[in-house]
Amino acid sequence: MDGFQLYVTNTSNIPPHGYRCYEDPHPGFPDITQTISCNQIGNYVIYFDNKGSDEGSSVPGAIIELCYVAINGCPMSYWGSKCDKFCPENCVGQHCFIGNGSCVWGCNAENCLGDKCNRETSVCIDGCKTTRTGHYCNKYNMATESLVSQYPNGSEPANKANDGYKISCSRTQGYNVEFQVDLKKESIVTGIYVTLGELTTKNGTHSVYASNTSIWTDGVVLYNENVLPKEIHFNEVFRYLTYLPTLDGLSFDLEVCEIGIIGCPPSQYGPVCDQKCPENCHGPCDLETGLCIFGCLHGWTGDECKNACKSGKYGRDCQQTCSTNCLSPTCNHVTGECICGCIDGWQGFNCSQTCDDWYFGDNCEWKCYCLTGPCNLLTGKCPPGGCQKGWHGVACEVSTVTAENKHLISIQFGLFIGGFLLGIMMTGAACFLARQRQKLRKKQGKENVTEKTQSHEQQHYDDVRMENISTYQDLMTRQTTHDYEHINTAFVSQ
């Protein structure tokens, strides 16, 4: 063993390339039992000896018998006599000394104010940068961009509690002290960090509430004890966080130097909230998986709400059926609007209203000029008694051609043709075919009409009027905003 060396390395190369913990000194022979301290991180422990022997006669190379080897240490990221303590998260590489847990290679100050952290504890010294919280400033802080308030107003403003600096504190006192954070929208929250100042009253009761309104009594109790810890964990959905310290009818002095709220804005998820929730989620998505845990917006289904409702269905969870009065069985999958219009006799957003008096046909677009009363809502047929002056036809909807109105009819006829063509372009092939099928059904079921009222000009008019331009001006599918503001207050208690 004369002149042996001991290494801790990350490779198995011989000769060793790494940290040399020990080398046998000269002169003299070493004890055959050795206990060597080597506080170092590595994958290999290497005993190395290339000196050889000089006991009596020279022997080239070393001769060694290792009868027992014990290596004391902890797995990576653990420390302590039983290796049961986690190294500080902010240690570089999460490597720490097994004796005291201090960082081997220093602390990560990336998110610390002033880029300063304590080498021994790895805790950020002055506070955290924007949108960061926690002892090591490695968690997303929703309080940074939230609205904070305190009652009474106090000698130092409330916004000093969410500016990131541990040394600047909001300050107030009174018999009924209240500190509140408004997250602006209902969000999933998993915990809070609170740093109180030295002037804060040491005894009393500390209560923390979560609510969806600024009235904290409408919410639930998150914490209620005689001591407020620096860190509280829970899992709730809410908008307002309210902290209420009390002291048995006496005035309470409160300094909040920093408050951190752990979670993500409703449209984001991930460890530092850098990933987008699916756009059709109803409310916030799961902070870890991004799944839409509160369901989907109207018209969408699936864990990520990427699937539109199947044909004939619409609304929340696609549970509602399109109106049977829609011209086409397919309606807007979000709103239920009949995108191709209504069958004869019906009108409105989802074709749930019958035609007003004196109107008939698909979407109730046509007016009848009957003499004795309104026409039939579906067919337009007038009751016995004929038409008003200047009108003729089954529904008294055809203006009698005179010298005075001939020019006007020509213009109307041109508009009908234009509407016919524009209608095809705007509604698409599906709606066009639906209208053609309806026209075919009408022709097959027409009542007998005299030759006089079914002139060539009138027949052409009947074919064209089905495609009036006004029918298509509002038929494009409306997109709804993906708004998660109306989250049920029941989420708070789930």
pLDDT at 146: 96
pLDDT digits (tens, 9 = 90+) for 391-416: 988 889 888 865 455 554 555 445 44
pLDDT at 297: 93
pLDDT at 473: 27
Can you give the three-state secondary structure of the chain, one letter per residue?
CCCCEEEEECCCCCCCCCEEEEECCCCCCCCCCCCCCCCCCCCEEEEECCCCECCCCCECCCCCCCCCCCCCCCCCCEECCCCCEECCCCEHHHCECCCCCCECCCECCCCEHHHCECCCCCCECCEECCCEECCCCCEEEHHHHCEEEEECCCCECHHHHCCCECCCCEEEEECCCEEEEEEEEEEEEEEEEEEECCCCCCCCEEEEEEECCCCHHHCEEEEEECCCCCEEEEEEEEEEEEEEEECCCCCEEEEEEEEEEEECCCCEECCCCCEECCCCECCCCCCCCCCCCCCECCCEECCCCCEECCCCEECHHHCEECCCCECCCCCCCCCCCCCCCECECEECCCCCEECCCCEECECCCEECCECCCCCCCCCCCCCCCCECCCEECCCCCEECCCCCCHHHHHHHHHHHHHHHHHHHHHHHHHHHHHHHHHHHHHHHCCCCCCCCCCCHHHHHHHHHHCCCHHHHCCCCCCCCCCCCCCCCHHHHHC
Instruction: Name the stretches of the chain with pLDDT < 70.
Output: 52-60, 401-430, 432-494
CATH topology for 340-401 is Tie2 ligand-binding domain fold (2.170.300)
Does the N-terminal peptide bond of residue 15 adopt cis geometry, omega within 30 degrees of 0?
A: yes
Instruction: Show the tokens assigned to 472.
Output: 């298509």
pLDDT at 100: 85
Among 102, 103, 96, 126, smallest CA distance to 114 is for 126
335 torsion bin: left (phi>0), alpha (psi -120 to 50), beta (else): alpha
The CA–CA distances, whole Å, from 166 to 183, 286, 287 equal 21, 31, 27
Instruction: Say if CB 284 and CB 187 are below 8 A apart.
Output: yes
| 132-263 and 340-401, same CATH topology | no
Q: Which residues of 117-136 are buried (b: 16+ CB within 10 A; e: fewer)?
A: bbeebbebbebbbebbbbbb
**Residue 168: exposure state from Cβ atoms within 10 A (0-12, 13-18, ≥19):** middle
What does the domain layout of the chain look like in residue ranges? Answer: 1-72, 132-263, 340-401
pLDDT at 187: 95
Does the N-terminal peptide bond of residue 152 adopt cis geometry, omega within 30 degrees of 0?
A: yes
Task: Mention the CATH class of domain 132-263.
Answer: mainly beta
pTM attached to this predicted model: 0.63
pLDDT digits (tens, 9 = 90+) for 300-343: 998 899 999 998 999 999 999 999 999 888 899 999 999 888 88
pLDDT at 401: 65
What's the rounded Cα separation, in Å, for the pair 130 and 145?
A: 9
